[in-house]
Structure 1
């Protein structure tokens, strides 16, 4: 909330970490601003990602809610915190490590979007063990050098089901016959949100690759 979560942002980000087996948690900040509808959205997303093995946390840096679980995630690890501009990444780090006094800023009154307070990645030691890397806010996530099969293989629940598809690991889970992912979607086992985000990324990569190989 403020800024609004961009459609598909979580799945696009996970597509960057999944190929490298990087443990990833999804952290929702600014819980103090949530109304009933926002909490319903959080619970909906939590119900999608936690069964897939991703930790999902709801925190408030301002009210210091949920910070103990967040600290536990970071303890004795080297962690990178990333997200859209304005979601409160630096504020969240300040909440668990106040002596850092990282610079923060409010959302733009004109656009309602975050402003780049952090302009380069910087790593800090945590006094309870571990290190954290603060990063500039992400405006957009695009993919280069990816093939459609890379996308199919890195949506983890799709990859697990692919062995039951007629075409196995070659299935892109769109119009292929006897597709286990499509069957799971119809049965409510696979999330519609995840599936539609997958299709959007797949289309984007195919269009990008077409223009790169045939026009440029």
Structure 2
């Protein structure tokens, strides 16, 4: 039978078949060896073929259907392996905050690059607006202008006051959405507002580090009451990019991608080369300097790792 993977706990998967029945399933040993180099051969969001076992409550996954897309990150435990965060996505949603904890632009831009790499439209949701001070609103206005100009939807929300939640629900309706962000940005609180009956665990920001504490251990998918699905992911401290060459990075910055043909050299890396259309656009203010610095930082990180 065909089933959809809702949760992975390492060796067992929670799946739902096309009639709506739930099963606990595991993979056949051979499945893990078939051209799959990730640390998790089956990902949340995968459609799989499954055979039920004698109890009729458990099953064995025999095949993974071809994915429309997926999002990858560097495996937290194995630096040279990748971990499939989720598969078959309509959009990715990054929950960011400007206070408690502050999300860096570098983290946002790495997430956007990963989404561009796998052709998944991205949405930026800035949470905890009820905590913002004047300088935070100034920073938000600056980032909203920067990201909107290159085609990203930017939303300001508060799970405390309800600001922006209605618009967010509309953007999630009838889509499969991956929700990501640093620990402590309020993902669980946001999901509790969207799923009041689920009562997901929430946990505050740890005082000594300013970083949130982990509440979600594994990715898990939930059905939205009005239609669509949300995939909640563990809070991430970093978003390590994998399977990307430094020569490719500019293709994943929309504002650079449209100007690449203007460079004098085909293999231009937009760092020190003459006749570079990207550096010219930065100098003229057509490409935001902070976005360019993010690009340089990503390229240098990949260089350091020898990719």
TM-score of Structure 1 vs Structure 2, range by shorter chain? over 0.9
SS of the aligned residue for 2:183 comes to coil
Name the structure with the higher helix share: 1
Comparing 140-149 with 112-121, which one deviates more in the overlay? 140-149
Match of 2:288 in 1: 191
Moved over 6 A (4+): none
TM-aligned CA deviation for residue 22 of structure 1: 0.3
Residue by residue over 1:31-52, the C-alpha shift from the partner in whole angstroms, topping out at 9 and shown as x without a partner, is: 0000110011111111111111
Q: Distance in 1 between matches of 2:222 and 2:106?
A: 30
Q: Distance in 2 between matches of 1:163 and 1:7?
A: 27
In the alignment, structure 1 segments of 5+ residues that lack a partner are 211-216
Q: Which of 82, 104, 117 does residue 19 from structure 1 map onto?
A: 117
Q: Distance in 2 between matches of 1:73 and 1:197?
A: 27
Name the structure with the higher strand share: 2
TM-score normalized with structure 1 length: 0.94
Q: Where in structure 2 are the equivalents of 1:146-157 lying within 5 Å? A: 146-157=244-255
Could you say which structure has the greater relative contact order, defined with CA pairs below 8 angstroms and 6 or more residues apart? 1
TM-aligned CA deviation for residue 146 of structure 1: 2.0
Match of 2:272 in 1: 175
Match of 2:140 in 1: 42
Instruction: Confirm or deny that 1:207 pairs with 2:304.
Output: yes
Q: Which of 123, 138, 157 does residue 59 from structure 1 map onto?
A: 157
Match of 2:263 in 1: 165
Supply the RMSD in Å over aligned alpha carbons.
1.1
Q: Distance in 2 between matches of 1:162 and 1:7?
A: 23
The count of residues paired between Structure 1 and Structure 2 equals 209
Comparing 154-163 with 144-153, which one deviates more in the overlay? 144-153
Q: Where in structure 2 are the equivalents of 1:111-130 lying within 5 Å? A: 111-130=209-228
The structure with more radius of gyration:
2
Q: Distance in 1 between matches of 2:218 and 2:136?
A: 31
Match of 2:203 in 1: 105
Match of 1:31 in 2: 129
TM-score normalized with structure 2 length: 0.66
